[in-house]
Amino acid sequence: MDGYAVLHALRENPVTRDIPVLFLTARGDPGDEEYGLSIGAVDYLVKPIQPAVVLARVRNQLDVKRARDLLRDHNAWLEAEVSRRVADNRRLEDASREAQARLNHLRELILSTADEGIYGTDADGVINFVNPAAAEMLGYRRDELIAYPAHAIFHHARADGSPYPEAECPLVTSLAGGLTLRDQEETFWCKDGSALPVAYSSVPIFEADRLLGAVVSLRDISERKRYLAQLERQSNFDDLTGLPNRNLLNDRLAHAIAQPRHAPDGALAVLAIEPDRFQNVNETLGREAGDRVIAELAERLVAHVQPADTLARLEGDEFVLVADMGRAELASDLAQAIIAAMTRPMLVDGRELTLGVSIGIAFFPKDGGHAEELLRHAVSAMHKARAEGGGRSHLYSTDMDSRALERLELEGELRRAIGNGELLLHYQPQLSLRTGRIVGAEALVRWRHPTRGLVPPAAFIPLAEDTGLIMPLGEWVLRQACAQNQAWQDAGLARIRVAVNLSARQFEGQDMLALVTAVLQESGLNPACLELELTESAVMKDAEAFIRTTQQFKALSVLLSIDDFGTGFSSLSYLRRFAMNHLKIDQSFIHDINRDPDNAVIAQAVISLAHNLRMSVIAEGVESEAQLAFLRARGCDEMQGHLFSRPLPAAEFAALLGSGRALELPADPAVPTRTLLLVDDEADTLSSLQRLFRREGYRVLTAGSGTEALDLLATHTVQVIISDACMPVMDGSELLGKVRVLYPNTVRMMLSGYTDLQAVTRAVNSGELYQFIIKPWDDVKLVEAVRAGFRYHESRRAATHGVAQQFVPDGIQAVP
């Protein structure tokens, strides 16, 4: 049974009929409250509750109930006394006086203690007692209300505001008829002339058959009235713009459809209006700025709305205008005027923004016979306008429905494809431009549809983004890529990194750090063999939060890169704080890079910026030898593209990786030889380091002591030296101190065990180190550190020769 059924059952049972019932509920719909009160509830409290309020309401009802029970018991007792003593008039009169005294005492007790407003009247309806709560509620002193006609403070809410005539006053009528009025809602006059909405109950008091008067309880319901009015507004109007919301729009649109069209060419037009590129505002400037933009756009739209039109704001940045047009073609004129108004620049947080707008138009009855259909068709037309480039309007046509249905079908098929094994990954090699060898692979998802064949990513990735399917799809890609990379390593293939693309929607809807951690544990893959590629939109959606996330991924040893760099809205002030490993130059800049000066300048600037921030650069979409030569000459670190290989299925990629095939790199005098000197007194350590760095294409020199290292430095040009900290005769700190004086341009690094902190501290304090690396080292992170060391050397060399390039080290860093 729900609360309404319980109340109904209580009211039907004579034993429980008079028990007051209060509703306590989480449902805040005004209709629910009105219904509850109409069937006999004495109060209706909406969660969340205030305990003090609930206790006060319950105590008031208990006091009123107790008073009524006492009065009822007294009347029953009085009638018994009258019956027994009817023969003795004197004793009856004494009993009546005693009963009246008891009644007066009871009344005073009730009035002096009740929080609820209570007053009493005599048989003529004149007030003869009043409690402080009632006097305060009505704005009187208690003595001012004594001998005051009750009907004078009672007011009927007539259209002209006039009060009830005394003969029609419900209070007076109830007294005359001996009626009990329960939980009525009316308006009372306060002393200052203001109206006070109250709920009241009137209980006549009898002695035998003689009416003595009545007790009236009052409850101020003005707060509830305000709450109901607020609920009604919230259910019909948008808080941000004050415009009607979807609920009120549906009502008004249905009403407009029902009206006759008097003009022969007249038509009811529904315009779906949505600004273009608004999502970029939220992502770059934040939600608060986005709200200000929405409010500004709403004001501009209001200027084009006639009094009889309805302009509503739906979710987010969606607006709908319902206008009764004298001629259908006027709707297009209205749309063009709105487009002109919406595309005017606006100033937000000191930035000038210009947003386009797309508008879809549907007509009643041509494009739909009811509100829902018209709105749906107007939105379809709006999406068509946006697909054509935005900044325009489009009339609805029936073929749009077929495309929308096709998209809906594709969504369902994609949802099933994730679990049906229809997805697969292709891997595109990423190659070092120093050695030509494969150093990584980007995992790219493909959809092998049972009837459509191989569906290109451009056909389903945006759909996955829009529908939220990108989250399960992205998780599947991450798991598959990590498991495949580990399988290649278990098969004895070269250890490479695999790059997986992540979207902004995944960061919004999932705990990516927890997911990546779990997937790495399940697959057994070394975190340094996983790279996460993020778009600039994902990075800049919440830059401060993303900074914390990158630090957590860095602590996990997962590599990070920014994909398609230069196509979004990156802020350089944030970029330097991100713990990124790579920047990827978008293929749109690589195309014609050797022919288009603008593309060349952008690419060169990205390479310089990344190197100065200790990041490597990967060029996407390299397809020609000319592009390759241009990028190598400007210090680009890695590339991927059809020049070397298209994306390959896992088996073909494994065969390519196992073949040892590399990119043929012609000798280029513009690319200087990178020489690395390794110094360690342990032969096994030197051999291990030598094998690791020969794969990088460096010329590697080795020395077993500090003296031997100084001899090699005298006969070879060395850009980077790595020395063990603890060696006999001359330790690493002493050696690097001498190198700093003799060869100041050589970048100095130290290998240190956990017990060599004293030597490291001495080297750091004397300024002899660029970086120190903690033993045992991680191969991938050590390689990245040495790459950064060579880039540091080259940037200083370029600055010395007058090249406009600067590098400011972040300080000494420990590389585990």
Question: Under a CB-based contact definition with an 8 Å cutoff, are residues 382 and 273 in contact?
Answer: yes
β-pair partners for 721: 677, 748
Structure tokens at 488: 């290649």
Task: Report the pLDDT value the prediction gives residue 810, as an integer from 0 to 100.
Answer: 36
Tokens 């060395």 sit on residue: 718
Spatial CA neighbour of 22 closest among 285, 281, 219: 219
Centroid of chain to Cα 478: 23
- pLDDT tens readout for residues 219-243: 888 887 787 777 777 778 888 888 8
Query: Do the strands 675-679 and 127-130 form a parallel or antiparallel pair, or are they unpaired?
Result: unpaired
What gap in Å lies between CA 105 and CA 98, rounded to an integer?
10
Q: For every residue of 14-63, which 3-state class applies, written as one string?
A: CCCCCCCCEEEECCCCHHHHHHHHHCCCCEEEECCCCHHHHHHHHHHHHH
Which letter does DSSP use for residue 673 in this model? Answer: P
What gap in Å lies between CA 515 and CA 615, rounded to an integer?
25
- Three-state SS at 383: helix
Task: Report the pLDDT value the prediction gives residue 576, as an integer from 0 to 100.
Answer: 66
State which amino acid sits at residue 50: Q
Structure tokens at 2: 């729900």
- SS3 percent helix, strand, coil of the chain, rounded to 5, is 45, 20, 30
- pLDDT tens readout for residues 183-206: 677 778 888 878 888 888 888 887
Residues whose CB is less than 8 angstroms from the CB of residue 64 and which lie 6 or more positions away in sequence, other chains included:
20, 114, 116, 118, 201, 217
Question: Under a CB-based contact definition with an 8 Å cutoff, are residues 329 and 263 in contact?
Answer: no
What gap in Å lies between CA 66 and CA 8, rounded to an integer?
22
Structure tokens at 281: 């505002």
> Half-sphere exposure (CA, 13 Å, Cβ side) for 606?
30
Task: Report the pLDDT value the prediction gives residue 808, as an integer from 0 to 100.
Answer: 33
Q: How many CB atoms lie within 10 A of CB 102?
A: 14
What gap in Å lies between CA 752 and CA 765, rounded to an integer?
15
Which letter does DSSP use for residue 624 in this model? Answer: S
- pLDDT tens readout for residues 125-167: 888 888 888 888 888 888 888 888 777 777 554 445 566 565 6
Task: Report the pLDDT value the prediction gives residue 157, as an integer from 0 to 100.
Answer: 47
Spatial strand order of the sheet with 195-207 comes to 127-130, 117-122, 210-220, 195-207, 181-189, 154-155
Task: Report the pLDDT value the prediction gives residue 803, as an integer from 0 to 100.
Answer: 41
C-alpha angle with apex 202: 199 to 207, nearest 5 degrees?
165
Q: Number of H helices and number of E strands within the chain? A: 30, 31
Helix 470-490 vs helix 399-420: crossing angle, to nearest 10: 40
What gap in Å lies between CA 245 and CA 582, rounded to an integer?
46
Question: Under a CB-based contact definition with an 8 Å cutoff, are residues 153 and 122 in contact?
Answer: no
The DSSP result for 124-148, as a single string, is: TSBEEEE-HHHHHHHT--HHHHTT-
Structure tokens at 83: 């019956």
- Residue 669 phi/psi, 5-degree rounding, is -65, -20
What gap in Å lies between CA 696 and CA 66, rounded to an integer?
93
Task: Report the pLDDT value the prediction gives residue 430, as an integer from 0 to 100.
Answer: 95
Spatial CA neighbour of 650 closest among 486, 473, 801: 486
Task: Report the pLDDT value the prediction gives residue 106, as an integer from 0 to 100.
Answer: 57
Question: Under a CB-based contact definition with an 8 Å cutoff, are residues 65 and 22 in contact?
Answer: no
Residues whose CB is less than 8 angstroms from the CB of residue 209 and which lie 6 or more positions away in sequence, other chains included:
none
Task: Report the pLDDT value the prediction gives residue 574, as an integer from 0 to 100.
Answer: 60
Which CA distances in Å does 124 have to 99, 149, 699? 20, 8, 115
Ranges of residues in the chain whose predicted pLDDT is under 70: 27-28, 78, 81-115, 155-179, 182-183, 261-266, 398-410, 536-543, 564, 566-577, 667-672, 754-768, 798-816
Q: How many CB atoms lie within 10 A of CB 571?
A: 13
What is the dihedral sign for C-alpha 499, 503, 504, 508?
Answer: negative
Task: Report the pLDDT value the prediction gives residue 812, as an integer from 0 to 100.
Answer: 39
> Half-sphere exposure (CA, 13 Å, Cβ side) for 443?
29
Helix or strand run (H / E) with residue 564: strand 559-565
Residues whose CB is less than 8 angstroms from the CB of residue 378 and which lie 6 or more positions away in sequence, other chains included:
270, 271, 272, 320, 360, 361, 362, 367, 396
Task: Report the pLDDT value the prediction gives residue 34, as an integer from 0 to 100.
Answer: 77
What gap in Å lies between CA 459 and CA 226, rounded to an integer?
52
- Three-state SS at 586: coil
Spatial CA neighbour of 721 closest among 745, 741, 697: 745
Spatial CA neighbour of 291 closest among 241, 242, 249, 246: 241
Task: Report the pLDDT value the prediction gives residue 811, as an integer from 0 to 100.
Answer: 36
Residues whose CB is less than 8 angstroms from the CB of residue 274 and which lie 6 or more positions away in sequence, other chains included:
317, 318, 319, 357, 358, 359, 382, 386
What gap in Å lies between CA 379 and CA 274, rounded to an integer?
9
Question: Under a CB-based contact definition with an 8 Å cutoff, are residues 192 and 144 in contact?
Answer: no
Label residue 706 left, alpha or beta by phi (over 0 means left) and psi (-120 to 50 means alpha).
Answer: alpha
State which amino acid sits at residue 424: L
The DSSP result for 63-86, as a single string, is: HHHHHHHHHHHHHHHHHHHHHHTT
pTM for this model (two decimals):
0.51
Spatial CA neighbour of 778 closest among 692, 697, 717: 692
